[in-house]
Chains A and B, each alone.
Chain A
Amino acid sequence: MTQSVGVGRTPAAGSEPAPFDVRAFARTAQGSLRADLDLDAMARAGISHEVVRTIATLAELEGATMEHLRNVLVTPTHKDARVTAFLVSWAYEKYWIADALRRIVTAIDDAIASESTDAAAHASTTDAGVIAPRTSAGRGPIRRALAGFAQGPDVVGAHLALGYVDDLVLDLAYARLEADAAAEATDRGNAALVDAIARIRAVKTRHSAFADESARRLAASPRAARLARRELARSAWPLGSGSVATGDREALGRFAVPDAEARAALARGIRSLPGIDDRAVAAVVRRLGA
């Protein structure tokens, strides 16, 4: 079991990361995780409603790639073929992460439903109000496209920074899920959940292009750093939040960043980006509801 690796993934100060090998990343893209999930064990583990709700929210967020892709592709980011090549495989891996998380939720919900005769006691985490109809969060494509005219290619660094910070936030949630389940890991179901979360985190560490490329670009261009600060402050956190109910988004924020230690870890990660200051950190934390 590992603590959040968000900070651990950031490039060391003063070092130049090797260019991200997009082809190697694409060639080794991780597909379905289904074969590795012990759903039966997880279903019988008595996992708490709060944890299941968190997993359901993470499933929605991981599955919200198309909205994020739209937001970045209507800007000059779409011209950078290395970045779009990365995003294509990134979306594929996140699709299967979302699929794995949904399967876990469904398995647990089905087990509860078949055991309980009390309708109130086994309110499904997929009830309406938990998984909200998708709505547009924030600026639509026209405003983003128009803004992109002025932003130019520097916006690419800003978009990569968004991806990096989003990974930091979600990894805090995964780290806590993994740690909490590991504390109960004498139980086979929780051990299975630890394994599943660890696999998901391992896939997500492959998305280090966000960290590496954003650091490189923000260091090279003060304008890119300025755009990144603005995008970080204006975005709804976590990314893809338009697809979840406000209550679930806030619950996830509190789950991922429950205390000063987690806030400090998140802040360290965000501040490791060149040109990103405490104001940007504060904006992210505020918008997370943490």
Chain B
Amino acid sequence: MLEQPGRIAARRVVIWAALTLVVSLLVTLYAALHIFEEAIAPELNKRSQLIGVTVREEIERALDYGVPLDSIAGVDTYLEGVLDDFEEVEQITLLSVSGAIAATATRQTQVPGAEIQTKLADIDEPAWISLPILSRNALVGELRLETDPKFVSTRLRNVVLDILVVGLVSVLLLFELIIWVTAGAVGKPLDRIFSLLREQAAGNFKHVIPAPDAGELRRIARRLSDRAIDLSERAGKHLQLPALPQAYFVDIRLPLFIFSTATEISGAFLPLYSRDAGGPEWLTPNLAAIAPLVAYLVAIALVAPFSSVIVRRIDPRRLFIISIPLTAVTMVGVGLGNSAILIAFWHGAMALVYALATIACQEYALRTASRGEDAQAIGSFLFVILGGAFCGTALGGVLANRIGAGQTFFIGAALVLLAGIVGARTIAPKIGERIRQQTVYAREPTGPPAGILLNARFIALILGISVPTNIGMAVFIWYLTPVALSADGVNVADIGRVVMLYYLMQVLAGPIVAQLADGKVGNLPLLIGGITISGLALSSLMLWSGFWPIAIVVTLFGLGHTMCDATQYSQAIRIAESDPRPGTVQIALSGLRLIERLAAIAGLAASVFLVDNIGYDTTIAGIGMMMLTGAVIMVLVQIVTTAQGKSNTVRSGK
């Protein structure tokens, strides 16, 4: 029998429930699309119509003044002015009643020579508007307007994409809610009953199961609990017996998801918000824009070295709950901030507390992980965080547009409190320690446990995987992609969608990658594969650039990063556990986190300088090269240590 029988039961329910709900969501989504398009279509047409009508009015006025149609002075310039002012007008022609062209203005397409051919080959038929021109009730000519159909189709496409994003957010939320509910109704009751039975069969009658925690099986729970209560009463102790301590990863999913959504609510607009807030003279707009980002990274980097100490002293539940009000306060601070400096300060403070909360959750995840499922534990943890980040970014974008950036932060703070309330209910106060894997070394390492940081494999992991990947994320995703796309003339909404592709990839691929890492494939192939894919993708930007190439590269980097993300933590744990000194796991994890943040900061700083000197594309390609080098390092170190390992060590366990 499995350790957590409830899991299988719960999983099946989750799948079916999710299916039902996703179907209902899809139906609603489709209906919403329909409703939107119907409501918007008239408005879309109004504009083109309006352009034609007002131009015609002006021409008719000239005619009323007695100016003959062919002699209207400056009409060519005038029509070209119309083209300049309205991008969707491709061609505007004034025809006399005989059909002769009195004046015309045509937009120059990129390839002037091929104009005629492309027009014939156009799949989209250009939209024609034809308006008769009257003078003193006689038809004297015609005004023809040709509009670019892409104008309407782009806007409709945007509508579709916007709704899809909302749909995705709903799906993620739905998923988390189902998991939570199913665990409570199906999974945990089964587990608890069996665990208590086993305890009591071993003679331990110290625990009870409160009836609500047992779902359908509460009759059994009551009976079992009664035994324990009876025994304790007979012994003369009238204490409240504690509930069976059971901790599952599921406990932190929903609170962490809400927490992550709340803290990432500013993802779409923080740089702009900060830049617009301004500051002292020496703070250029670009500096103001990245100031909060830098503060965030610095704060997390500061916390990282102490994280091992912190989790040893304070249990995850208490740590998480303490961080809640503090996080809410810092978010209110950002919302009230009226200068980039203040905003950066409060955002940094938020990052500090956020780091504590997420370290608590990560610790919880690791401790509740089943044997040999480290990557999946970290993977699920990352899935929840990234899913929340995705939802938060999307939600924040929509909210900020309507109610303003400042208010959006307050809503974020409210969500943080909600996360706290949920977490207080679901997170278990007591969890067991991790089950360490035992290894026997021929040589016992000497020195303090911190020496794990000097382990060759660990250093290779850091240099080969963590550093390049984090530089890639901070520099390429957070900074260069928005900037490069913006320089290409891409609008903010589309930039946001491209960045979302990165997170989406991580959310989708994360669980599968984690299972492969823990299962058949193992950590190293995924790490090397992931960094290679990332490196190749980024380096390819030397050969091609533009909107779609960047979008594809972002997606591929998302995949590559996912292959490395949870896996590198799992690998770090494995390297640390191969060292018998106590506490190496915590130190290794802290070291990894710290170096990740430092790499991100250093990368951002260097890139600001590099971009000015060698341009975007070259900088991105440079990072790609760094990644490929990392792949080589990993392969080399692996060959070397495998060779050493074969000759030196005997391993036990997995």
Q: Do A and B bind each other?
A: no
A residues sitting closer than 8 Å to B (CB atoms) are none
